[in-house]
Structure 1
Amino acid sequence: MGDLIEEWATQVAEAELRSTLPRRWAHTQGVAKRAVEVSQVLGQDAGLLVAAATLHDVGYAPRLAATGFHPLDGARFLHDEHGAGERLVRLVANHSFALLEAEERGLKGELSTEFPQLEEPLLVDALVYCDMTTTPDGDRTTAQDRVTEIRSRYGDDSVVGRFIRRAAPEIFASVERVEAALADQPR
């Protein structure tokens, strides 16, 4: 089952991002690669993590950008057009502390009502780890450097800048928890 959902996720993300947003596609591929690397800490949810990592930014696709808030737009697309599973859709909708950004955008109620956060801490943390340790070009980075890059790209006074400053402590804590889980894995 895991391989099928991963293949499907790659097909969907590639169709939506590769030609219209090639840099976002490169980031997506890097995030998916991180997910494969950390998936051993998730057991039966490994395929779900890889699929969510592959689809986390699909809402940036121009044809899907209804609200301009990519986690919500992506989750709605996956739910409405593909009938994707609830856990996958909720992971995409809430990836990397999206609820904090939704609050900045006045969309917190919509996001939390339509797609409540999952109460699966390690799975949620693993997706944060994958996203926040990958550069816009798909390369590996530290969470600290990624947050700095986002702040410099968007500016501290922008919606994204305000969100990332608020989310940074949570992002760093998620990354630390995943790194600790990885360190506990037998080699």
Structure 2
Amino acid sequence: MGDHESSWAWRLARSELEISLPRRWAHCQGVARAASALAAQLDCDSELLVMSAILHDIGYAPRLAATGFHPLDGARFLRDEFHADDRLVRLVANHTFALLEAEERGLREQLETEFPVPREQALLDALTYCDITTTPDGEPTTAEDRIEEVVVRYGPDTLVGRFIRRATPDILAAVARVESEMQSQPR
């Protein structure tokens, strides 16, 4: 991943997550590895996909957690502190159907207003695919197993448990779209 464009993203994610949240850092690295592999198979902005993958959970960093909702906190940090590209910020803000979780938290209007869902559905699907097929420890998994892991870890009746169960059909549809696109690409 030594690309010039993404090196700042890797340094930033490492500096915010490696010490304070090592498991989250492992997950982000795994999502970025998945994004790099996926980008090689898809016709997409591979640099943007990998950068959004390494940064997607930066909002969990303790010093950035203003609202406690990591997509919003991370996107605000990237926008306000780094003046990051709008496409990157909007991918981070909206990864893995964040609007549905924002709704559960009473933050949907803020998220939608500040960071509208990107028009690039294929990139958003790809980021969701990489996130939902990577374990908390950064290892590959299936979307179904990852969803079940989230429900068990947080509990089915918690805010996150309710969100992930509600988002499951959308998440699985995004995964199916990405898998279909991978199968349609020439080898």
How many aligned residue pairs are there? 186
Q: State percent identity of aligned pairs.
A: 63
| Deviation beyond 6 Å, 4+ runs, structure 1 | none
The question of whether the paired residues in 2 share the 8 Å contact of 1:75 and 1:92 is answered with yes
TM-superposition CA deviations, 1:43-72 (whole Å, max 9, x none): 451100000000000000000000000000
CA distance in 2, matches of 1:155, 1:44: 36
Q: Which runs of 5+ in 2 are unaligned?
A: none
The question of whether the paired residues in 2 share the 8 Å contact of 1:39 and 1:49 is answered with yes
Residue 70 (structure 2) aligns with: 70
Residue 89 (structure 1) aligns with: 89
TM-superposition CA deviations, 1:102-160 (whole Å, max 9, x none): 00000001000000001111111000000000000000000000000000000111110
Q: Which amino acid aligns with 2:168?
A: A
Residue 102 (structure 2) aligns with: 102
CA distance in 2, matches of 1:162, 1:57: 20
CA distance in 2, matches of 1:114, 1:41: 32
Residue 27 (structure 1) aligns with: 27
The question of whether the paired residues in 2 share the 8 Å contact of 1:6 and 1:51 is answered with yes
The question of whether the paired residues in 1 share the 8 Å contact of 2:42 and 2:181 is answered with no
Question: Per-residue deviation at 1:184?
Answer: 1.4
Question: Per-residue deviation at 1:25?
Answer: 0.3
RMSD: 1.2
CA distance in 1, matches of 2:78, 2:5: 13
CA distance in 2, matches of 1:163, 1:29: 24
The question of whether the paired residues in 2 share the 8 Å contact of 1:150 and 1:164 is answered with yes
The question of whether the paired residues in 1 share the 8 Å contact of 2:42 and 2:182 is answered with no
CA distance in 2, matches of 1:139, 1:173: 22
CA distance in 2, matches of 1:44, 1:117: 17
Q: Which amino acid aligns with 2:170?
A: E
User: Which secondary structure state, in structure 1, belongs to the residue aligned with residue 135 of structure 2?
Assistant: coil
Q: Which runs of 5+ in 1 are unaligned?
A: none
Question: Per-residue deviation at 1:42?
Answer: 4.5
Residue 14 (structure 2) aligns with: 14
The TM-score normalised by the length of structure 2 is 0.97
The question of whether the paired residues in 2 share the 8 Å contact of 1:42 and 1:122 is answered with no
Larger CA deviation: 146-155 vs 3-12:
3-12
Larger CA deviation: 92-101 vs 38-47:
38-47
